[in-house]
A and B are shown apart, each in its own frame.
Chain A
Amino acid sequence: MINFGVIHALVLRYLYLFTRTPIRLIELLFWPIVQLLVWGYLTTYLQRNTDAEFSGFITFLIGAVIFWDVLFRSQQAVAIYFLEDVWTRNVLNVFVAPIRTVEYLGATFTVGIMRTALTVTILSLISYGLYHFNILSLHWALFPFVFNLLLFGWSLGMISTALIVRWGPAAETLAWATPFLIQPFACVFYPLSELPAWMQWISASLPATHVFEGMRAILKTGELPVTNLVWAFGLNAAYMAGAGWLFGHVLKVARIKGLLTKFASQ
């Protein structure tokens, strides 16, 4: 049973926090904009110096920057949501409130969608202004892929939060590093076939790889690559089940070892 009032309360808290601290807005926009500028100009430069056939592919570099950010924001939403409570010594107040784990995770997923929507909107406007890259002109078939990035980011967020609960604030950097650890394998900017065989094995096990492969296929053929989508959804289901289990398990370990109460006294 899920109490939506509780999810609403947890999301409301994030909104209050967000509007109370403008610096967070900057954090949410600064990195993606910097990335977009670097990749955007690289893209226009490459476009001018390559033949027409390759140029559609290059245009997608801008799309890749934006879509990668979907994954990153979604992962961050979970990890930062927990860390906010650690930083403000509010952990115990939250964990003695009548909140079920699913409600807590549901709230972080919702926050992830909101964060993503905000950054994607702004990045899309900027890339349209600077590079005439219109995200709305992209194929509708990209949407289910974007949704898969949200899901994968959520799983990664649960995993990084579980590690933070288990290993304490020392593991805080994981909150920032996790997505970048997998980025080389996720084939964001280049096709899977570019990678050596041993890397391809790892890559194939990540939903993100199938998402970005699928997106490139759409831009090339204009058709929905069903296989890629099935792989993305299938792997995501497995990751979510695994990450959800890990999160629940670590919370239980925390209740045995007194890890939550340690966060209160630090």
Chain B
Amino acid sequence: MISVKSLTKTFGRTVAVNNISFEVSKGEVLGFLGPNGAGKTTTMRMLTCYLIPDSGTATVAGCDIVEDSLEVRKHVGYLPENAPLYLDMDVVSYLEFVADVRGIPSSEKAGRIRRMVETCGLESVVGRYVGELSKGFKQRVGLAQTLIHDPEILILDEPTTGLDPSQIIEIRQLIKEIGKERTVILSTHILPEVEATCSRVLIINEGEIAASGTPEELHSVAGGEDSIYVAIKADDEGVPEKLSRISGVTAVKKVGDLDDGYIRFLLKSKDGARVGEEVFRAAVENGWTINELHRETLSLEDIFLKLTTKEKSA
């Protein structure tokens, strides 16, 4: 649906997007994740023909973003960052304007607008001026605008920024709903958001792709080792040594003395679930007592920080 090859965009001496390539297939919900200034917005602006890349090419719905930019824009619904809207219009005139520019025949217009009002939950604000609406409703009007021509592709730049928690959940629900039959790219800083809405993630940092994959795949990309914490009370001295002999364990560290003679160890392994069982078995064999055994997988947040700070320090 979207195919991006070595896109590059510079502003003066800032390289905003540096040689980015990726593909998005039909029906995917792709999340752009990255710190401020990573190049997410710039990439989206090139895909929506607001900016022209310095080099590289991209096709959206089979059309080239430079050669065929009008066709591209017909297939895409775009919600820019902060959902800018014509504040001096009322909600319905605004949607009518977008429908007119998009060439929706007047016989269908009223029906489409009614459907948008329903889908985006705008019933209570139809007669109001856009400028008077709360941030959440502005965001909904923005979404309604992106959907009015029933596009195959949606590009949403930080659709939930600035909303309160309940609005965030509602907008996410809405995106999930409307993303069922569409290809979606959305950008965000909020990590749980990608896990909640995206089928695939692209971590962008300093204009380059730092990692890409499903949230699960990213765990292994980041060298995703699980941490297993275990607190053991034993008479023999060889506990750490025996623990490290368990297959799959890459490191054993004593992390603290607890009350009642328990000692807490931290084990690192790629296969945390099996190692947990092995630890238990070893305890039974050696007559240790265990009063704590739990496993922590690397969260997307850890991966994000790891990937985006690793590059900076290098």
The finding on whether chains A and B are genuine partners in a shared complex, rather than unrelated, reads no
Binding site for B on A (CB under 8 A): none
Interface residues of B (CB under 8 A from A): none
